[in-house]
Amino acid sequence: MNVSTVFRALRSSRLFKTMLPLAAIAAMVSTTVRAESVELLGLNLSGAGFAPQVLPGVNGTNYIFPVESYFQQWSAKGIKLVRFPIIWERLQPTLGGALDPTYIALIDRTFGYAQKYNVKVILDLHNYARYRGQIIGTSSVPYAKYQDVMTKITQRWSGQSSLYAYDIMNEPHDALAYWPTAAQYGINGVRAVDKTRPIFIEGNGWAEATRWAQWNDPLLKLTDPANNLIFEAHTYFDDGAGGNYTGVDVGTLSATYGVERVKPFVEWLKKNGKKGYIGEFGVPDNDARWNTIMDNMLAYLRDNCIPSTYWAAGPGWGDYFLSVEPINGVERPQWPTLKKYINNTRCTTFGPL
């Protein structure tokens, strides 16, 4: 629906007859238009989160922030949504302390590139529910310190027009007693500043889609005054769902195996009336049958209006077998399948529908 259509609908409604101020009408139009632009396929533009064990590390040596050309090339290919992993310890070297000026300047630059090329960014704190190896909620990392960093992140970047959402923690694991409480503190930290943007909530068990319901019913108790929580699962098609694909024979898998892997998560969402997103998935580049499995999964997600971001693209991947980053200008085998699902007109909201 375009702006003129919205205005025609409003003009024929009781809103105009009750003399609703033009500013309020404009705000409603803006909200409606934004709601009808869900990007169904994006990429993880990784690099800034490399070598988290090397702290603080040096950009270009231990980790790699994307330069402008990365946003330029992917935007030209139709990618308008990226999930962007960052590392808590680099961002905030002292728990509860100030944000590191070097790292925040690089993140500032990234948002600038994204804005220039009309790309929206999901900012991902890529820390597995830990700070320096210690679980959030333990005595070493009190919940309040996690809320503190989420508030500081939001204070710093909520004014960026290219910021789409907050992914408040990547792949919590072995934290069943802690993560549901921590997640609420993370939500509170964001909402202290940003009252509207989506907050993505990943689940225990490395956010795995297939076994999502086994660990993550406690997340149903989370509250958000904006009612804008999106639950985020990850899926890979190897036994451990970690993306290493060691010893996996694709010839033994059905063409619908990818659907089978994400369906338990989608059914959980439907059962509980929640919205969802697949934040990571990826397939090897060495056998076309993987692309068929991925194709069927993406069609299933599309039909349910569940967006997804592929793992991964960005600088520094080289010939990594899941990467979709071109090598010497040559497209990777996964790309023809992925680009079929670039679409921001099909869905007006996050599904499932």
Is 171 a known active-site residue? yes
| Six-digit token string for 237 | 């098609």
Q: Where are the alpha helices (DSSP H) in 158-305?
A: 179-191, 212-215, 257-272, 288-303
Q: Are strands 120-125 and 81-86 parallel, antiparallel or unpaired?
A: parallel
Amino acid code (one letter) for 296: N
DSSP-assigned letter for residue 330: B
* Cα distance between residue 67 and residue 129, in whole Å: 28
| Six-digit token string for 176 | 């069943």
Amino acid code (one letter) for 233: A
- List the catalytic residue out of 39, 202, 208, 280: 280
How many other CB atoms are found less than 10 A from the CB of residue 182?
21
Residues 266 and 304 sit within 8 Å (Cβ to Cβ): yes
Helix pair 68-76, 101-116: axis angle to 10 deg: 30
* Cα distance between residue 109 and residue 341, in whole Å: 28
DSSP-assigned letter for residue 100: P
- List the catalytic residue out of 39, 89, 171, 208: 171
* Cα distance between residue 341 and residue 335, in whole Å: 10
Q: What distance, in Å, lies between the first and last C-alpha atoms of the chain?
A: 19
Residues 276 and 306 sit within 8 Å (Cβ to Cβ): yes
Q: Where are the alpha helices (DSSP H) in 192-287?
A: 212-215, 257-272
Residues 136 and 178 sit within 8 Å (Cβ to Cβ): yes
The CA dihedral of 244, 82, 86, 278, to the nearest 10 degrees, is: -50
| Strand locations in the chain (E) | 41-45, 81-86, 120-125, 130-131, 134-135, 163-167, 199-202, 229-236, 276-282, 308-313
Q: Which residues are catalytic?
A: 171, 280
